[in-house]
Amino acid sequence: MQKRERLYEGKAKKVYATDDARFYIIEYKDDATAFNGEKKGTIAGKGVVNNRMSNILFRMLEANGVETHLVEELSDRETVVKAVEIVPLEVIVRNVAAGSFSKRFGVEEGRELEAPTLEYCLKDDALGDPMINDSQILALGVATEEELRTMGALALRINGLLKDYFSRIGVRLVDFKIELGRYEGRIVLADEISPDTCRFWDAETNRKLDKDRFRRDLGGVEDAYREMFERVSR
């Protein structure tokens, strides 16, 4: 499969067309951003970790009946994926109070929630990716009612599978963001699952193993990413 023109470059990835219209090639970068791009930096080796770790997790989810965009890992940084049409929503699932959730609701960080929460944000950098509710999604035509039901159910199913998976390797899945896409009339999991898009805490110490170390200037960012990859790769 031949890489063609670059279609898109985001904060963490580049997307290329291929000589087969059914597929794209994604290239993962080491660039790091936080707070809607206000903070910028580089995390050495991040692209390799996020690419390979995402593919391991996508294969696990595929084995459990969750369709993803994954086709083939080409190299440490490149993967062939299905040419999905991304639904312009960030789908966020939270199991533990942290980050903006704690600030919005005055809940101490680390409190286990009584049930997982499901949130949506509109993918629009110029607007700062604002939160959006079900009725607003329908009103703006971002997704249909059936798609919204499918996305919510799929996000919660993915949460259950990931929580079980990470608990077995001593990691607390605090929260995560996923993106979903349309492919041949179906909603499929796209984007990535990595320390960039999830909050991972060590199950015994609550030590942060994710991008919060970059956001909050905690140090040890590269080590945290590598540790998560090593745990997932065992």
Q: Which of 47, 66, 82 is the last residue of a domain?
A: 82
What is residue 51's three-state secondary structure?
A: helix
Q: Are residues 98 and 211 in the same domain?
A: yes
Residue 119 has a pLDDT of 98
For the chain, strand residue ranges (E) read: 3-9, 13-18, 23-28, 31-34, 39-42, 70-73, 78-82, 85-86, 89-96, 112-122, 171-183, 186-190, 198-202
Q: Does residue 234 fall inside a structural domain?
A: no
Q: Does residue 146 fall inside a structural domain?
A: yes
Q: Are residues 90 and 70 in the same domain?
A: no
Range of the domain at 166: 85-220
Lookup: tokens for 10 = 């985001």
Q: How many residues are recorded in the chain?
A: 234
Give yes or no for a contact between 122 and 88, defined as CB atoms under 8 angstroms apart: yes
Q: Are residues 71 and 104 in the same domain?
A: no
C-alpha–C-alpha distance, residues 38 and 40, integer Å: 6
Q: Is the dihedral of CA 230, 93, 83, 27 positive or negative?
A: negative
CATH, residue 25: 3.30.200.20
Sorted by sequence, the CB contacts under 8 Å of residue 227 that are 6+ apart come out as 209
Q: Are residues 149 and 50 in the same domain?
A: no
User: Mind listing the pLDDT tens digit for each residue in 131-165?
Assistant: 999 999 999 999 999 999 999 999 999 999 999 99
C-alpha–C-alpha distance, residues 130 and 107, integer Å: 21
Give yes or no for a contact between 189 and 61, defined as CB atoms under 8 angstroms apart: yes
C-alpha–C-alpha distance, residues 48 and 77, integer Å: 5
Residue 38 has a pLDDT of 82
Residue 37 has a pLDDT of 75
Lookup: tokens for 107 = 């809940």
Residue 108 has a pLDDT of 97
* Token pair 């949460």: residue: 159
Strands 112-122 and 78-82: unpaired
Residue 110 has a pLDDT of 97
pTM: 0.96
Q: Does residue 226 fall inside a structural domain?
A: no
Low-confidence residues in the chain, pLDDT < 70: none
- Give the residue from 59, 146, 162 showing the smallest Cα distance to 69: 59
Q: Which of 56, 82, 108 is the last residue of a domain?
A: 82
For the chain, the domain total comes to 2
For 19-111, strand residue ranges (E) read: 23-28, 31-34, 39-42, 70-73, 78-82, 85-86, 89-96
